[in-house]
């Protein structure tokens, strides 16, 4: 059972279909809930998915095309209705503060929300939480757009057999973790002697964009990469013109960035009739790793960290 998983609320680009709602993604990460790009209908999709408005602790909007933000008024008003007691960060491209303000106040409601606006001007850190940093990178779309990634700092995993060998138990373990060394009997034990490196997990979220440096930077070493894949190979010219990725390009981003799991979403309505598997196939050809074709209301666990995978990733020469 994972306490880190992606709840897929919608997977359609531009126009929703019978089977796909507009975009919407809630990343459950321990006690945090990060809502990405709430398109139209997100409030109701959350109901179907069994997640409440009070689960939301941060909101990230990549850009202000409707399929990525028209659900924001409903979600905010639902949060107010439910009297969500905690403050919520809202990240969005600073260039379109005016659009955010309109969505924020799109209709009249009893506004008891404590929103902390984090307009994003440039690449870099946006939110520093206790357990992770949230960073943004510019994307290449037809309007100002930023992708996001969540980076958990590297830590150390305590090794029970080593602790036992040194006779370290109870509160001494916490003391050693905190201070890095501990006097045990007649010797000093260093943290490195009883633990091993544990790589922090990373989650990347890339929406509407052409191939660009920002996309690769976001995906770097991601355990889970959620990436738009609006089109198949045959529509590559359309993708370039309108600032989108093909599924194969999404696969390339995952491959060249050393991502572990690629989640494809944001599909054109032209793939409604079951030919969407084509997109997964084309991405898989470029990636070589596991590809998940997202469907509405899927719950996709963030891959658990295991030593073998960490070694492989580190050997892969992440920069
Ligand atoms: Zn767009």
In DSSP notation, 101-138 reads HHHHTSS-------EEEEEE-SSEEEEE-SS-EEEEEE
The two tokens of residue 49 are 């998915």
pLDDT value of position 185: 82
115 has pLDDT over 90:
yes
Band (315; pLDDT cuts 50, 70, 90): very low
Report DSSP state, residue 28.
E
Structural contact between residues 314 and 305, judged by C-beta atoms closer than 8 angstroms: no
Centre of ligand 1 to C-alpha 178, Å, is 46
* Residue among 67, 208, 220, 223 flagged as catalytic: 67
What share of the chain has pLDDT > 70, as a percent?
95
Catalytic residue flag (residue 89):
no
- Between the alpha carbon of residue 41 and those of residues 46, 101, 192, the distances in Å are 9, 20, 50
Centre of ligand 1 to C-alpha 143, Å, is 7
Structural contact between residues 146 and 62, judged by C-beta atoms closer than 8 angstroms: yes
Which of 80, 82, 148, 77 has its CA nearest to residue 118? 148
Centre of ligand 1 to C-alpha 62, Å, is 9
Mean pLDDT of 272-301: 92
Mean pLDDT of 175-193: 91
Biggest alpha carbon distance in the chain?
72
Centre of ligand 1 to C-alpha 310, Å, is 34
Compute the distance between CA of residue 179 and CA of residue 154 in angstroms, rounded to an integer: 17
pLDDT value of position 2: 53
For the entire predicted model, the pTM comes to 0.90
Contacts of residue 103, defined as CB under 8 A and 6 or more positions apart, other chains included, come to: 69, 70, 72, 73, 76
pLDDT value of position 5: 97
> Could you tell me whether strands 181-184 and 187-190 are parallel, antiparallel, or unpaired per DSSP bridges?
antiparallel
Centre of ligand 1 to C-alpha 290, Å, is 26
């Amino acid at each position: 059972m994972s306490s880190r998983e992606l709840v897929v609320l919608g997977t359609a680009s531009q126009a929703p279909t019978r089977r796909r709602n507009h975009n919407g993604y809630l990343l459950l990460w321990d006690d945090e809930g990060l809502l990405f790009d709430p398109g139209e209908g997100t409030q109701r999709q959350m109901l179907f998915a069994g997640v409440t408005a009070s689960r939301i602790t941060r909101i990230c909007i990549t850009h202000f095309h409707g399929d990525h933000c028209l659900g924001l008024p409903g979600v905010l008003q639902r949060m107010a209705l439910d009297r969500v007691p905690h403050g919520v960060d809202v990240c969005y491209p600073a260039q379109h503060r005016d659009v955010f303000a309109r969505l924020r106040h799109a209709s009249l409601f009893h506004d008891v929300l404590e929103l902390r606006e984090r307009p994003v001007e440039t690449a870099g850190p946006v939110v520093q939480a206790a357990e992770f940093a949230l960073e943004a990178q510019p994307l290449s779309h037809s309007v100002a757009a930023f992708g996001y990634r969540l980076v958990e700092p590297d830590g150390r995993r305590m090794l029970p057999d080593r602790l036992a060998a040194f006779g370290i138990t109870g509160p001494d373990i916490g003391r050693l973790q905190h201070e890095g060394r501990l006097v045990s009997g007649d010797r000093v034990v260093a943290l490195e002697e009883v633990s091993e490196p544990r790589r922090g997990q990373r989650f990347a979220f890339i929406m509407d964009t052409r191939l660009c440096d920002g996309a690769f930077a976001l995906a770097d070493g991601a355990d889970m990469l959620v990436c738009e894949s609006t089109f198949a190979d045959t529509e590559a010219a359309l993708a370039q013109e309108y600032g989108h990725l093909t599924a194969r390009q999404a696969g390339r981003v995952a491959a060249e960035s050393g991502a572990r799991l690629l989640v494809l979403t944001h599909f054109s309505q032209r793939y409604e009739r079951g030919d969407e598997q084509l997109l997964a196939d084309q991405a898989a050809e470029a990636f070589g790793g596991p590809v998940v074709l997202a469907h509405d209301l899927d719950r996709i666990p963030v891959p658990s960290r295991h030593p073998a995978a960490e070694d492989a990733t580190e050997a892969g020469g992440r920069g």
